[in-house]
Every structure is written in C-alpha cells, then in structure tokens.
Amino acid sequence: MRIDVVTIFGEYLQPLSLSLIGKAQAQGLLEVRVRDLREHTRDRHRTVDDTPYGGGAGLLMKPEPWGEALDAVLADPPAALTADAAERGPVLLVPSPVGEVFSQRLAVELAAEPWLVFACGRYEGIDARVVEHYRTRIRVREVSLGDYVLNGGEVAVLAITEAVARLLPGVVGNAASLTEESHAAEHDGLLEHPAYTKPASWRGLEVPAVLSSGHHGAVERWRRDEALRRTARRRPDLLARLDPSRCDAADLAVLAAEGWVPAAGGFRPAAAAVAD
Ligand code: SAM
C-alpha cells in the first residue's frame, strides 16, 4: 500500500517511522510519502491561508495550493497498480470533524486499497471547493476521529494509518490477534473481554479461576459473556448492530439479564420492546 500525506507540518508524521508501522515500511509492505503543501504556493511568503468569505473568525486554507498539490500526487501513482486500480485512482481521505466517524469497519475497507491520499487541514479547514472538485475525479471520504476538534489533520492521519496498516498482511506478526479484538467483525463488533496475565494474584486481585481451568469451552464462554456484558454496559449503541442470528441461547440470556432483547437487525432495550 502507498500512502501520500499532504501537510504543512511534515514533522508531525515522523512517528510513522517507529514500531510496527516503521518496520512495515522497512519491509516494503507500506510506503508513506509526506509532501509539503507549501511547495505548491507561488508567493514569496508561501501563503496557504486567507480570510473566509462572509466573515467570521480564523483563516481558511486556499484552494489553489491544494489543487496543485493533489494534482501532483495524482500524476505520480504507485508503479505496481493494476490497470483497474490506476483507473479508479486513490481514495482521498480528508480528516474533518464534519466527516463520517472513523471505525474499524472503515479501516478494513481502506486496508483493501492499494493507494490512499490524505489532505491535512489546518486553521479553520480547507476551502469547501477542494472536496467538491476532487469528488468529481476520485473517491473522497471526509473522516472524523470523533466529536471533538483538533488543530489539524495530522493526528487523524497517524491514527487512521496505524489502524489501517496493522491490517495489511505481514504487519502484525500474529494475524489471529487482529480478529480477536474489540470491534472486529469476527467478534460481531463487540468490545473485547477483560484480559489478564501473570501473576495470578496481584494486590489482592485474583484472575478469574475459569481462565486457569484448562477447559477451553468454559474459557470461550466466559470471554463471550464478558464481551457481551461489557458492550451492553459501556457501548450499548453497538448492540443495535449486533445480528441476533449470530447469538446462541447463552448469548441471549446474558443480554436479557442486561436488559436487551433481539429486534429486527439488532438488539434494543427490553423496556422499549415492552412499550411498543
Ligand atoms: N472549522 C472546522 C469545524 O468547525 O468543523 C474545524 C477546523 S480544525 C480547527 C482544523 C483541522 O483539524 C481540520 O481541517 C481537520 O483537518 C482537523 N480536525 C479537527 N478535528 C478533527 C476531527 N475530529 N477529526 C479529524 N480531523 C479533525
């Protein structure tokens, strides 16, 4: 996979050369190219911002440097693209608090792409015509890290790149660990169960006995129960998307005890079911 990042703060992306993502780059599984937006300015001050039409606080990023920078990226595709992939071009990811909220599901989708391009906004963001224009040429996704505001898109690039790159074959040593995690589709998008390592007793806290029982079935049941309980208590919104046909009688009993009953396409609170 190749990732191009256009930014005015290239140094922000240096952590991508560390740890597993750095190793993935060294192994040729991933190539990250950081490009300076200011190289596509024409004035002495290398200006990338200006005041917003209609007034208001702050400055916006001007469309011209973005147009030139992104056109330069598009004109320089990865060498190994299939004809089909070259035809479709990259996915342009624009970090923004107004975008769709980034999720494991989107990370899986993006991990299947050979080429991603990020456009990092700063100030009050990028002139809206940039997204409008590139939507007519390539696939564009505005992506939010969550319902809060950062100073720039670089932190979002770090988070999204790490979530996507760890899904690429060979990046994480034990591939099974990717499917046994919170939000994994293979685990029905549930939160992960609590996990423990040695010692068995620490500061008066004991590891649940079932985990040392050697009884594989009982361990799996305990983990599934805990995952369901945790999800119901911490992220009930995820239960709305839990497919009831993927739940056995024991799952249904745990969820019923937490106050959740099956409904079309997911679960809903028992009280709401009664009210209907
Ligand atoms: N004026 C924008 C608004 O109210 O929606 C906020 C601009 S923010 C100060 C500057 C840049 O930070 C954005 O263009 C985007 O690149 C990035 N950013 C801020 N919050 C973000 C979030 N929650 N997710 C992803 N990127 C974000």
Q: What is the pLDDT of residue 48?
A: 98
User: How far is Cα 93 from Cα 263, in angstroms, rounded to an integer?
Assistant: 35
Chain-centroid distance, C-alpha 107:
5
Q: What is the pLDDT of residue 118?
A: 98
Q: Is the CB of 145 under 6 A from ligand 1?
A: yes
Tokens matching residue 197: 């390592």
Q: What is the pLDDT of residue 179?
A: 86
Mutation probe of ligand 1 site: the residue of 144, 150, 151 with most atoms within 8 A of C-beta: 150
Q: Is the CB of 94 under 6 A from ligand 1?
A: no
Gap between the terminal Cα atoms of the chain? 49
Q: Is the CB of 149 under 6 A from ligand 1?
A: yes
Mutation probe of ligand 1 site: the residue of 149, 157, 160, 161 with most atoms within 8 A of C-beta: 149
* pLDDT tens, residue order, the chain (276 aa): 999 999 999 999 999 999 999 999 999 999 999 999 999 999 999 999 999 999 999 999 999 999 999 999 999 999 989 999 999 999 999 999 999 999 999 999 999 999 999 999 999 999 999 999 999 999 999 999 999 999 999 999 999 999 999 999 999 988 888 888 999 999 999 999 999 999 999 999 999 999 999 999 999 999 999 999 999 999 999 999 999 999 999 999 999 999 999 999 999 999 865 555
Provide the percentage of residues in the chain whose pLDDT is more than 90: 94
Mutation probe of ligand 1 site: the residue of 6, 9, 66, 96 with most atoms within 8 A of C-beta: 96
Angle at which helices 154-165 and 104-111 cross, to 10°: 70
- Is-contact 124 60, C-beta < 8 A? yes
User: How far is Cα 12 from Cα 152, in angstroms, rounded to an integer?
Assistant: 10
Residues pairing with 139 in the sheet: 91
Q: For residue 148, give the ligand 1 atom closest to its CA.
A: 23
Q: What is the pLDDT of residue 271?
A: 81
Q: Is the CB of 236 under 6 A from ligand 1?
A: no
Q: Rounded to the nearest whole angstrom, what is the distance from the C-alpha of residue 60 to the centroid of ligand 1?
A: 11
Protein residue with least CA distance to atom 1, ligand 1: 124
pLDDT, tens only, 206-253: 999 999 999 999 999 999 999 999 999 999 999 999 999 999 999 999
User: How far is Cα 257 from Cα 251, in angstroms, rounded to an integer?
Assistant: 10
Q: Rounded to the nearest whole angstrom, what is the distance from the C-alpha of residue 48 to the centroid of ligand 1?
A: 16
* 56 exposure class (CB count in 10 Å sphere: 0-12, 13-18, 19+): exposed
Omega within 30 of 0 (cis) for the link into 15: no
The two beta strands, 60-61 and 49-50, are antiparallel
